[in-house]
Amino acid sequence: MSRARSHLRAAFFLTAVSPRGATSWIAARRELSARPAPQEPGMEYQTNASYLEQAKRQRGDPQKQLEAMELYLARSGLQVEDLDRLNIIHITGTKGKGSTCAFTERILRNYGLKTGFFSSPHLVQVRERIRINGQPISPELFTKHFWRLYHRLEETEDSNSCVSMPAYFRFLTLMAFHVFLQEKVDLAVVEVGIGGAYDCTNIVRKPVVCGVASLGIDHTSLLGDTVEKIAWQKGGIFKRGVPAFTVLQPDGPLAVLRERAEQTSCPLYLCPPLEALEEGGLPLTLGLEGEHQRSNAALALQLAHCWLQQKDHRGVGEVKASRPSLLRQLPLAPVFQPTPHMLRGLRDTEWPGRTQVLRRGPLTWYLDGAHTSSSVQACVRWFRQALHRCKEPRSGTEVRVLLFNSTGDRDAAALLKLLQPCQFDYAVFCPNLTEVSSTDNADQQNFTVTLDQVLLRCLEHQQHWSRLDEEQACPEPGGPTSLLLAPHPAHSHSTSSLVFSCISQALQWISQGRDPVFQPHSPPRGLFTHPVAGSGANVLREAAAIHVLVTGSLHLVGGVLKLLEPSLSQ
């Protein structure tokens, strides 16, 4: 393998710290893709979607994938035993694992502990995945640790091996471990990437405590097509003698988790509801909105409480009288009085892109990266409750807009059906690209698919929505005929729908220049010439309030945040 090609595979990471790096990487990718030689495995897998495709192709023996990760760790200069020094809290789940991690990290940081936090995916910049004391590592620190790890792996590569470098997610996992050790964190909160048993974070042998958030259906091609099969994968993070906690689950997957825990001699506990910890005091205030966050907060409290106990830390909260588990499948975790540090941690937790609200003049943006049926259901409850709370007399119309995209093997039609009760006036679909130009999408773009492919997926979403709308309103049959699609509503409650080629164009149409922060250049000529785009623009310009729900994909939410919150790109 040539050294030039080797360095090209590294270049895309520089997009996190340098626009010039982004441009050079894209040019290099185009050059390599034009060559007849086959692509080498490894660094070309730049997004979760690509990582998933790679995992599907290599899943013949998943145990070998873990062994390969250990070899990469050794080549990088670390042994598995070195990770014990990180005092890891290992967390998995289908929905809520990222929020649980955020709650847990914020609570423990309030105790004066130096925290590391590894999460995925990122929203705007790849540096978000590796955090110290809640903040993404700096561009300088990222660059230093990236090249140190890259050169170390390059120096130790085996010329007989067909895979000399780890793929994207593996590389970042290795890098996070090195950063946390070099920065001497007191603890590291590590979010599982996909599944648990064979996830590359599962080379950790001795975490302090493990957690399993709510389970549901996702990544079925990798994890299985039932919640029980998925529970088996998630329970793979359990370790002998290491306490683990889970929230209330359906009977089937809960039984699987119990069985997995028994097989590994892992003490597994069921978290009591947050109400049990509130008894005798005021209701707990959470920094993250949505009723479903109470389950995540309950799990985070138990994980933080257990970690503090395991490390003989003072001020862990007075244990109240414990109650027996009503399910009799698992022992109930202790009910304790949350300490002031814990209360402030829950209240001050921030986790962008999850039940996040941005209020900008007449526009209110509701951002939630829900992408499974259960998480979209929770998102709908949160959105409708938020609308109900903000009801106030207004002179003028209120407009509801859905901005949606879905990727991978997810059932977009099922997700869109769950969103129908929100009664949107407009449904807008676009790819997870901030701009049409690829140079502006370095941290978001999946270079293994074309713009045509992602636009076709958006058109399918629009067609699904139109069919659902027809079922609701029973209009005249008819279908979309152009890229900017808008079946004319034949019913007062039907939704007009549009497809745009990038997020920026979608936001320009939705905001109509009325967002005081998002003030792009003039839209491309002809962008709003479609009759519904034109008439809708008039409605949006005159509306007293515009409520926009952005959901279906964390990558979509990340692209929207990049444009609405420019400071996140700095």
Phi, psi (rounded to 5 degrees) for 408: 70, -150
Check whether 469 is labelled as a binding-site residue. no
- Say if CB 205 and CB 84 are below 8 A apart: yes
Q: What is the DSSP letter of 90?
A: E
Q: CB 60: neighbour CB atoms within 10 A?
A: 7
Place of tokens 């067609």: 463
Check whether 354 is labelled as a binding-site residue. yes
Q: How far apart are CA 449 and CA 194, in angstroms?
A: 21
Residue 184 has which token pair?
């001497």
Phi, psi (rounded to 5 degrees) for 483: -65, -45
- Say if CB 473 and CB 452 are below 8 A apart: no
- Please compute, for residue 2, the number of CA atoms within 13 A of its CA located in the half-sphere on the CB side: 5
Check whether 464 is labelled as a binding-site residue. no
Place of tokens 């149409």: 509
**Residues linked to residue 217 through DSSP beta bridges, in sequence order:** none
Q: CB 177: neighbour CB atoms within 10 A?
A: 26
Q: Is 270 helix (H, G, I), strand (E, B) or coil?
A: strand
- Say if CB 63 and CB 69 are below 8 A apart: no
- Say if CB 405 and CB 552 are below 8 A apart: yes
- Cα separation values, 539 from 484, 510, 517, 535, 556, Å: 18, 10, 21, 7, 25
Check whether 368 is labelled as a binding-site residue. yes
Q: How far apart are CA 29 and CA 50, in angstroms?
A: 15
Q: How far apart are CA 567 and CA 565, in angstroms?
A: 5
- Please compute, for residue 104, the number of CA atoms within 13 A of its CA located in the half-sphere on the CB side: 37
Q: How far apart are CA 442 and CA 434, in angstroms?
A: 10
- Say if CB 111 and CB 313 are below 8 A apart: yes
Cα angle 244-248-253, degrees, rounded to a multiple of 5: 80
Nearest to 211 by CA among 242, 179, 185: 242
Helix (H) or strand (E) holding 118: strand 115-118
Q: How far apart are CA 74 and CA 483, in angstroms?
A: 51
Check whether 228 is labelled as a binding-site residue. no
- Say if CB 335 and CB 321 are below 8 A apart: yes
DSSP 47-78: SHHHHHHHHHHTTTSHHHHHHHHHHHHHHTT-
- Say if CB 323 and CB 335 are below 8 A apart: yes
Q: Compute, in degrees rounded to 10, the torsion defined by CA atoms 489, 491, 493, 496.
A: 0
Nearest to 563 by CA among 375, 384, 360, 386: 360
Q: How far apart are CA 551 and CA 243, in angstroms?
A: 35
Q: Is 402 helix (H, G, I), strand (E, B) or coil?
A: strand
Binding residues: 120, 191, 219, 354, 368
Binding residues for Mg(2+): 120, 191, 219
Binding residues for ATP: 354, 368
